[in-house]
Amino acid sequence: MTDLSLFELHLNETRDIIKAFQLEMDRGLALKKSSLKMIPTYVTMPTGAEKGRFIALDLGGTNFRILELSLKGGGRIGTSSNTMKFVLPQALLTGDAKSFFDFIAGCLKKFLQKYKLESGKDFNLGFTFSFPVKQTGVNSGRLVCWTKGFNVRGVVGNDVVSLFNEALQRKNVDNVIISALANDTVGTLVAKGYENSDCDIGVILGTGTNACYPEEKLDGMIINTEWGNFNKLKTSLYDRELDKNSDRPGQQILEKMVSGMYLGSLAGLVIKKDLKINIEFKTEYMSVIEADRSAGLSKVASVLRKTGIAKSTIVERRRIKKICEAVSRRGARISASCIAAIIKKMDKRLSRRHVVAIDGSVYEKHPTFAKNMKSCLREIFGSRSSLIRMVLAKDGSGKGAAIIAAVASRK
C-alpha cells in the first residue's frame, strides 16, 4: 500500500513553497530564467466608474461563449440575457489557424445576428484567450505555447488578435473592434475588482490553473504569473509518472498537482498501484467520492460501477476515498501557499484586506478544496488570515473581458 504521507504538505513545506515562489516571481519580473513567466498584460484595474455596452468572447477550452455586458458605473453591472455558448469541434483543436479563427468569427457573427447587433453601432470587444500569450499591448499578443490539449498549427509565435481580425474580415464582421486581449485569470480579477476595490488577486482553479495580480512596481499593471508552470515543488513517484506520460513532460508541474485536468489521473495512478484496479479515473469522481458520508460509501460504489467495476468491498471503497482526500488536500494546500506568496509580495506584513477572486470547477464544486485552502492560509498567517477573503467569481472571465475592453476603450 502507498504511504499517503507522500501527499502531506506540512507548514514548514508551505513556507518553502512561498520563498521559492517569490524568488521565481522576482526572476521572472527581471526577465531572468524562471518557471513563472510573469507576463505583463498592459491591463490595469478598473475604477468602477466605467460605463457602456461591451461584448466579450471567452475562449478558454473546447466550450466558449460570447456575451454582451452593460456597465452602469459605480461598480454595478447590468443584467443581460444576450449570451450564446459554442463548442469547438475536436478536429479544429489540431487543425490550422485559418479554420480555427474562421469558426470563432462565424460564431460571433451568429451572436450579432441573433441579438440584432450587426449594424448601427460599433462594439468594443474583450477577447479572453486563456493560453500563455506574450502580450505586446492591451490588444495584441503572440501565443507562447498551446495547453489543455490544443495544438492548432500556425498560431504559436503569431499575434492572436491579428489572426482573429483577419477572420472577422473574411466573415464580413465590420462593427466589432477587438480592444482588449486577456486570459481568464485576468478577466476574473478585473470582474471582481470592478465591484470591489479590495480585490487584488485573480485565480483559476478548474481544468487548468493560473493566477494574476497588479504589480505596484509597474504602475499597477496586472501581471499574469502563469503559475501552472511553477516547478519548485516536491514531487512523488506518482507525480513523476504522470508527468512522464503527459503530452508536455517537464512542464506545467504545479498544474499537474492541482488542476482538474490532472487530479483524477493522479489519484487513479495510486488506486491502480494499491488496489490493482485499472480504471480511467476522472477528477469529477473525486468530488462525489469525498462528499460520500454514507456508512457503506454507496456513492463510491456507484462511481466504481460507472467505470466498469461491478463489485467492490467496503475496505476498497474506504481506501479509494482516503487516496482522493490525500491528493486533493495537497492540491489545495499548494494553491493556498502560492496565493500566500503573492499576498506577501504585495503586502509583506499583511496590513490590509485582500479579496482573492477564484473561478473554476475544482474550487467551486469540490467539497473540501476551498475549506482546505482556507485552513492552510490560517496556518500560514495565523489570526491575520481574517484579512484574506477568497470569493467565488463565477463566470468572471467573460465579464472581465468586457470590463477590460471598457478600460482600454476609455484610454
Extended beta strands in 296-351, E state? none
Please say whether the dihedral angle defined by the alpha carbons of residues 243, 267, 288 and 362, taken in this order, is positive or negative. negative
| Among the listed residues 205, 66, 206, the one whose alpha carbon sits nearest the alpha carbon of residue 123 | 66
User: Cell numbers at residue 175, please?
Assistant: 462593427
| Among the listed residues 410, 402, 407, the one whose alpha carbon sits nearest the alpha carbon of residue 126 | 402
| Residues 334 and 9: beta-carbon distance below 8 Å | yes
Question: Which residues does the annotation mark as catalytic?
Answer: 148, 184
Instruction: Report how far residue 136's alpha carbon sits from residue 159's, in angstroms, rounded to the nearest whole number.
Output: 9
Which amino acid is located at 41 in the chain? T
Instruction: Report how far residue 37's alpha carbon sits from residue 340's, in angstroms, rounded to the nearest whole number.
Output: 18
Instruction: Report how far residue 47's alpha carbon sits from residue 43's, in angstroms, rounded to the nearest whole number.
Output: 12
User: Cell numbers at residue 5, please?
Assistant: 504521507
| Residues 125 and 176: beta-carbon distance below 8 Å | yes
Ramachandran quadrant class, 241 (left: phi over 0; alpha: psi -120 to 50; beta: rest): alpha
For 326, the 3-state DSSP assignment is helix
| 210: Cα separation from own chain's centroid | 5
3-state SS, one letter per residue, for 349-398 = CCCCCEEEEEECHHHHHCCCHHHHHHHHHHHHHHHHHHHEEEEECCCHHH
For 159, the 3-state DSSP assignment is strand
| Among the listed residues 259, 267, 242, 285, the one whose alpha carbon sits nearest the alpha carbon of residue 326 | 267
